[in-house]
Structure 1
Amino acid sequence: MQHDADVIVVGGGNAGFSAAHAAAERGRSVIVLERGEGPTAGGNSFFTAGATRIAHEGLAQLQEFVEPDDRHAVSTVPTYSEQEYLADLERVTEGRNDPELSAVLVAEAQPTLRWLAGLGLRYRLMYERQAYARPDGTYLFWGGLHVGNVGGGEGLVADHTAVAARLGEDVRYGHRALELVVEDGAVVGVVAEHAGERVTLRAESVVLAAGGFEASAELRAEHLGERWAAAKVRGTAFNVGDMITAGLAVGAAKGGDWSTCHSVQWDAFHPRNEGNLELTNRLTRQSYPLGILVNTDGRRFLDEGADFRNYTYAKYGKVILEQPGSLAFQVFDAATRPLLRAEEYEMPGVSELCAGTLEELAALMEVPAEQLRRTVEDFNASIVEAPLDPTVKDGRRSETTPPKSNWASAIAQAPFYAYPVTCGITFTFGGLKGDTEGRVLDAQGAPITGLLVCGEMLGGLFSTNYPGGSGLAAGAVLGRRAGTIA
């Protein structure tokens, strides 16, 4: 049978390229079909900060494959064991994570990053996102998430693309895959659209790595709920579920939780707050554990300090979507404002409100001034005094309703700041059902010959929430596995 390649990978993001590299290393000829072109290539991977969660034994082990940095000599990086990784995954998904996929992820995340680093991807310690500078000039890392790509998502995609060129992978841009070709019960190819023409390409194996359905307002409304049609799409506009639909059409079973997703607090009023290729991840607002969140009624509605940001940020977008007008405000004062992430709160065009009094701030926010004042006063009066320490769950709580469990600081010192946030959707948790080797399974649990899946298309690892950085790790691990047998 005439094949265009041994392996076709659909999707040129982190997972797809990981699969392509693994196959190419084995001597397989590989075609990568990527819908984007130029700056729109790379899927959601381009829009990430590049943070990747791995188990490790501390700084000395990480220095074996991350880029050198003079700050390493004055840095403390706590160990993060496989047991802690698995416990975090089980805790934040409320036990709905697939145990077999989870075991593979936590065991192979670090070896997979070492493999990618050996191929040419560059990693570093994420000082600006995962460490606090201490008064003595040293750095302390926190939250179990310490490693990221040099250059963030843009650097990640650029490095993958360079590896693909060196390994001889045939990356074809501007190809929108639409259908799978099936003969005698096996998947033997892909039908794609390119420059207005339909193209059929054949291969022994097809690896699906084309992302979820978060960019389709219709599918969001159908599976997540009607309000989700209004969510802002943080990343690529191309993840509309084409290949999930194609997989289901050839008998693949649904996998994972189709009713929840990764969603964050996102700049509500920035004029280009969807698919922004220049600012990418900087439109998130992730210093919320240091302040309070209020809705348009001027009331708090969640525990901003329930856990480290890494374990809450991916679920709080949904909570904001459920507020009146799908809008909320992060509120800080002059004492807490300097602690916010500069890359997010001092970015070009940031939506920022500032006033000398709470009443003036409420007017800018267009919320009831008396209610905002009562909310702040009640919060301030209920704080249990303890040392503020953002590197640990410090127990400095406010015993109001809802409580704030950690990092409670009074909103008392003028000027006061508010940052309007809405729901930014990142990726959907539901996809196709696959096994730990990446093989797509049918309704009876049998593999569909010739069809594999990885990345955000593979359902089962996450539900309701996820530990920050585990998405890129899962894409690389399961992508490598799929490419190894493709």
Structure 2
Amino acid sequence: MAPVLDEVDVLVIGGDNAGFSSAFQLQSRALVASSWLTLAPKNGTVHHGLADILPIVNNVDKATRSKIDMEPYTATNFADDISRICLGRSDPDLSRTLVNDSNAAVKWLAKHGVRFQLSFNRQAYEINGRFKFWGGMCLKTQDGGKGLIEDHRRAAKKLGVKVLFSTAAKRLVVDPTTKAVSSVIVEDDAGEREILAGAVILAAGGFEANPRMRSQFLGPDWDFAKVRGTPYNIGSCLEMAIRDVSAKQAGNWSGCHSVAWDANAPPDSGDRVISNEFTKSGYPLGLMLNLEGERFVDEGVDIRNYTYAIFGKAILAQPGHAAFQVWDAQMTPWLRSEEYREGIVEKITASSLEEMAEKCAKCGLKNPSKFVETIREYNEAVAVFQEENPGHKWDPAVKDGLSTQSSRKKLTLSKSNWATPLIKGPYVAIKATCGVTFTFGGLAVDHETAGVISSATNSAVPNLYCAGEMLGGLFYDNYPGGSGLTSGAIFGRRAGRAAAAQARNGKNPQDFSARL
């Protein structure tokens, strides 16, 4: 038998947003087994407009406040977006919980010291001297995922939560009489040891950093995707729960969050400092062409919040698993500086489209003539649309209807919004690939308590809970931007409440759901 390392009320496996959210509910006699920083910089939540958000942000002074335009993002808006973006497949109980708890959960995180800011750099454009927020999402955490985890760790220390690092969960131990999880076998530098726990919360992420599981579940070529965040989310805790307690699998196991990512980024993990600067989400302002010189997505089909998590998959499916993003001088001033600043991204600049094609050919473009032809045909379609619709004005903060489709000319693949011609040099291009963020398949849970459901009994496994990316059934094919962070907080909070009730008081966790 393994020697006992510790005995706690609740053991949280995973040191990300969901794990620490669970721990905040536990306070003393809680133990978090952590590893690496996560990538979780933004937040999607129901809000009632600027006045509802201002009390929890730290980057808005009086003068700036007077220049902000922000429409409320209602529960109906959020629910409709989940239904639309997730193809109507999201578990209704999980999605309803996500929507209804989102506003309170964000304010609860702020109460525990998570620093929020208005996301001027990502979710607002300054138009005619006013900051116009768009797409529902308006919040980010200060200093991104790095700052979020720093805030979580500071709060955990204040609450007396103990954190272990470089400690891997190996097995769930089940009491043969009660069938309840009673302890976890872990492994650290000293070897295998046992942690006795009144309850266990699984919050160790998906399998996005495991090339084998990506190929197995997401499909061919997914081992080529680059990992955006932690290299430690390899699905081992998912497999552990399925093996040891017959945890029921749920959700979109062939789906994931993946983005347009810098082709020169590290292959197997993100960067703790640079983090989201490898993201390349400026495609609505220009075009994306594959290595054959052809467009392959409608860059303006929807607000970026609802396309960035699936366009990485689209790039992965292209020849060479790469694409070029291209803009002219009219659009480059609108690109986010942190995604396209000098020193991070390798920019390709040219004074003409022909010169751009030649330079891109040195970076992998296979068909330079087709590249030029595609852009010229696009420019012609945009010009015809503008001739027929002189009243349409470009507006990056709304779906402006500027299109390539008119009565006299239609492209086979349209650009539905923000279609402006690429006619003014200097031109800029960058090479992008697919960056995988997190996977959608996970474990089935009770939405009230986040208790893990057994595939054998179709009821909750005693003393075992789940939150964060390990939770399955919420997102399918795509997700509304920022809602992953919100989900982690909401179900982490519920798991913490239920686990604390079970471990300390021996009460039915359902009795506590009404007080969340």
TM-score normalised according to structure 1 size: 0.95
CA distance in 1, matches of 2:339, 2:126: 17
Asked whether the equivalents of residues 6 and 205 of structure 1 are also in contact (C-alpha less than 8 Å), the reply is yes
Matched with 1:63 is: 54
**Structure 1 position 56, deviation (Å):** 0.8
2:153 counterpart of 1:157:
no
CA distance in 2, matches of 1:351, 1:255: 40
Matched with 1:441 is: 453
**Structure 1 position 66, deviation (Å):** 1.9
1:282–1:68 CA distance, 2 compared to 1 (3 A): closer
| Aligned partner of 2:15 among 5, 8, 12 | 12
Provide structure 2 residue ranges, at least 5 long, that are not aligned to the other structure: 387-391, 406-410, 500-516
CA distance in 1, matches of 2:265, 2:101: 39
Asked whether the equivalents of residues 13 and 200 of structure 2 are also in contact (C-alpha less than 8 Å), the reply is yes
2:390 counterpart of 1:398:
no
CA distance in 2, matches of 1:193, 1:182: 18
**Structure 1 position 274, deviation (Å):** 3.4
Matched with 1:293 is: 288
Describe how 1:154-193 pairs up with structure 2 within 5 A.
Answer: 154-184=146-176, 185-193=179-187
Describe how 1:219-298 pairs up with structure 2 within 5 A.
Answer: 219-249=213-243, 250-270=245-265, 274-298=269-293
Asked whether the equivalents of residues 273 and 283 of structure 1 are also in contact (C-alpha less than 8 Å), the reply is no
AA aligned opposite 1:226 = P
Moved over 6 A (4+): none
**Structure 1 position 361, deviation (Å):** 1.1
SS of the equivalent of 1:424 reads strand
SS of the equivalent of 1:397 reads coil
Provide structure 1 residue ranges, at least 5 long, that are not aligned to the other structure: none
Matched with 1:374 is: 373
Largest Rg, 1 or 2: 2
AA aligned opposite 1:442 = S
| Aligned partner of 1:214 among 199, 208, 217 | 208
SS of the equivalent of 2:26 reads helix
AA aligned opposite 2:403 = R
Q: CA RMSD in A?
A: 1.3
Per-residue CA distance 1:331-354 (angstroms, 9 max, x = gap): 101111111111100052312111
CA distance in 2, matches of 1:371, 1:322: 19
AA aligned opposite 2:210 = S
**Structure 1 position 244, deviation (Å):** 0.2
Asked whether the equivalents of residues 267 and 273 of structure 1 are also in contact (C-alpha less than 8 Å), the reply is no
CA distance in 2, matches of 1:193, 1:243: 13
AA aligned opposite 1:122 = R
CA distance in 2, matches of 1:295, 1:429: 26
Asked whether the equivalents of residues 146 and 272 of structure 2 are also in contact (C-alpha less than 8 Å), the reply is no
Per-residue CA distance 1:196-238 (angstroms, 9 max, x = gap): 5112101110000000001000100111112001110010000
Describe how 1:65-464 pairs up with structure 2 within 5 A.
Answer: 65-70=56-61, 71-135=64-128, 137-184=129-176, 185-249=179-243, 250-270=245-265, 274-366=269-361, 367=365, 368-383=367-382, 384-385=385-386, 386-399=392-405, 400-436=411-447, 437-443=449-455, 444-464=457-477
CA distance in 1, matches of 2:301, 2:443: 32
CA distance in 2, matches of 1:281, 1:196: 35
Aligned residues: 472
CA distance in 1, matches of 2:238, 2:279: 27
Matched with 2:29 is: 29
SS of the equivalent of 2:221 reads helix
Per-residue CA distance 1:443-470 (angstroms, 9 max, x = gap): 1420001110000000011011001100
CA distance in 1, matches of 2:444, 2:123: 33
Identity percentage of aligned residues: 42
CA distance in 2, matches of 1:270, 1:202: 41
**Structure 1 position 271, deviation (Å):** 5.7
CA distance in 2, matches of 1:458, 1:90: 18
Describe how 1:46-61 pairs up with structure 2 within 5 A.
Answer: 47-48=39-40, 50-61=41-52
TM-score normalised according to structure 2 size: 0.89
Per-residue CA distance 1:302-328 (angstroms, 9 max, x = gap): 100000100000001111100000010
AA aligned opposite 1:206 = V
Asked whether the equivalents of residues 293 and 370 of structure 2 are also in contact (C-alpha less than 8 Å), the reply is yes
SS of the equivalent of 2:23 reads helix
AA aligned opposite 1:441 = I
AA aligned opposite 1:427 = F
